[in-house]
Amino acid sequence: MGTSLRPAHTDLPAPQMPDRDHADCRGVASILARVGDKWSVFVIMMLSDGPKRFNELKRMINGISQRMLTLTLRGLERDGLVTRTIFPTIPPRVDYELTDLGRGLQQPVMALGLWAKEHQAQIAAARTRFDERNDT
């Protein structure tokens, strides 16, 4: 049936339980909302091998609009995960690059992307089965 998640299946330590009043949940939720957003995941993956210009990123990330890429980059910059460097050339050149903090996300984000790629067919089949059972 399903895969059990035992410590043997991961190298990560068990997370600490939140305090009883869950005061830290809101802060963690806002961070996970940023780094778990699909466009943020793609941007982090594309920047993992070095700085990129805006249009390079846009070409690399299929389906992202200019507006969404702008918003995603601004959010990642605001959270300290990406730097934006403007070079005083004509025309001006702007590079985006992961910060040290952003580079710390490379491994988990790449693992998530790899997992998604490896399990696309299984997820599609599960969705089909679900939709067939729940068709009205």
Confidence check: pLDDT of 10 > 70: no
Domains of the chain, CATH where assigned = 25-133 (1.10.10.10)
Contact (CB, 8 A) for 82 and 72: no
Confidence check: pLDDT of 3 > 70: no
Q: String of b and e for 22-57 (b: at least 16 CB within 10 Å)?
A: eeeeeeeeeeeeebebebbbbbbbbbbeeebebeeb
Contact (CB, 8 A) for 88 and 43: no
Confidence check: pLDDT of 98 > 60: yes
pLDDT at site 4 = 45
Place of tokens 């690059």: 97
Q: Is the model's pTM score more than 0.85?
A: no
pLDDT at site 126 = 96
The CA distance from 101 to 98, in Å, is 8
